[in-house]
Structures are given as C-alpha cells and as structure tokens.
C-alpha cells in the first residue's frame, strides 16, 4: 500500500521541511534510502555508547560535574542532528529515486522504535540521577520513557487502523530540544541543569511539562 503521512507541526512545515528539501538535493541518487536510514541509527548508537562510556550509571553530571568532557556533549548535538536529518530525508530520497517499498517503511519505523528509547536514555545523562539535591529520580526517568514510547505506539496503532500516519508534534520539537540541550550543556556545563532558572523551578521541570504536553 502507498505510504501516507500527515504532518501539521508548524516547526516541521515551515522550518525543518525546507531545510530537509535543501539537504536532499546534495544526496547522490545512487545511495540507497535504507543506507540513509541505517546511517542515522548508527549515529544514535554512537551517541548512546559514547555517553554510556563516561556515564554508565547516570550520576556523572550530578556528583562529578566535568567528568563527561565538553566535546562529548557537542558531539551528541551533532550526532542527534545527523540522525534527525537522515531520518527525515530517507523517505524523501526513496520517493525521489522511485525506490519506496513496504520493506523500507518497516526498516525505517523498526529502527525508529529502537531510537525512541535510545534518545531518551542518552538524554538522562544530561540531567543526572537524583542525588538528594539535584537530578531526576529513576521513577521520573521511567515515566519519561513510558510516555514517549506510549506516544510512539499510539501513532503507529493509529496508522495501522487508518492507513495514515499522523506525525506527533512532539517528534520535531523533541529533536530540536535535544540538540539545544546538548549544545547548552556543552557551552555552559552540566551545572545549568542543577540550578533553579525561574521561580525556583529547574529546567528539567519545564521539560516534564513539555513532554506531557
């Protein structure tokens, strides 16, 4: 069946899609769309394993600020952007080269299902685990992950029943927020997450509200 998706997010429609349409023009026609999909997933894995090497138990940012080198956060921003871009242009490239297949869609969304977890798990290293003063509790981390995965599941369940994938607004917003958060951490340091920034609330509090919204 013909792949059908609806994206009404203003961030995507007016800002990101024009960017992807320019990037897709520099991708050689001989490159397979599945290669773009897989390359994006590899970027996510590189980010995850690199951050895990420096922060295997989610405490480095809270108890030992500076333990994770600045370049790791900056590279995380870069790999997240690359993964975001490749995931956004693989379908465009497939239609451009007339090589769209159900297998390609399954491969794309199958890897997305893994990426959804990995993005969230990587981001926890920025916030750090709760140490009694700052950080996010393990329970909150679990709720973060559950909400994101439930949203992903509902979107594809809807697609299965209607034949149309209504892309959640949260996808583009979350990717841009992730990239900005890694850049902020790299430039300012993890301390920015450990100090109240408005009316006694932490940035992580704002992210919880954004995520639930």
Model pLDDT for residues 9-61, shown as the tens digit of each residue: 899 999 999 999 999 999 999 999 999 999 999 999 999 999 999 999 998 88
CATH class, domain 5-212, is mainly alpha
Instruction: Give the closest residue to 5 by CA, choosing from 115, 113, 145, 100.
Output: 100
Under the banding of pLDDT at 50, 70 and 90, the label for residue 1 is low
Under the banding of pLDDT at 50, 70 and 90, the label for residue 169 is confident
Residue 177, classed as helix, strand or coil, is: helix
Catalytic positions, written as ranges? 109
Instruction: Give the closest residue to 115 by CA, choosing from 36, 48, 51, 55.
Output: 48
In the chain, domain spans: 5-212
Under the banding of pLDDT at 50, 70 and 90, the label for residue 66 is confident
Of all residues in the chain, what percent carry a pLDDT higher than 90?
A: 53
């Amino acid at each position: 069946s013909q792949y059908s998706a609806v994206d009404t997010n203003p961030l995507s429609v007016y800002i990101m899609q024009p960017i992807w349409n320019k990037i897709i023009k520099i991708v050689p026609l001989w490159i397979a769309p599945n290669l773009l999909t897989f390359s994006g997933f590899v970027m996510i894995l590189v980010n995850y394993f690199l951050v895990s090497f420096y922060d295997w138990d989610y405490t480095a940012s809270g108890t030992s600020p500076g333990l994770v080198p600045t370049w790791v956060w900056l590279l995380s921003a870069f790999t997240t952007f690359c993964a975001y871009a490749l995931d956004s242009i693989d379908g465009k490239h497939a239609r451009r080269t007339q090589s769209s297949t159900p297998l390609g869609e399954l491969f794309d969304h199958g890897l997305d299902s893994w990426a959804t977890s990995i993005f969230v798990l990587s981001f926890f290293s920025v916030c750090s685990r709760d140490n009694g003063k700052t950080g996010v509790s393990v329970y909150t981390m679990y709720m973060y992950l559950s909400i994101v995965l439930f949203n992903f599941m509902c979107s594809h369940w809807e697609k299965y029943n209607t034949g149309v994938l209504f892309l959640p607004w949260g996808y583009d917003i979350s990717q841009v927020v992730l990239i900005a958060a890694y850049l902020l951490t790299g430039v300012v340091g993890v301390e920015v997450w450990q100090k109240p920034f408005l009316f006694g609330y932490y940035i992580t509090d704002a992210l919880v509200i954004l995520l639930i919204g």
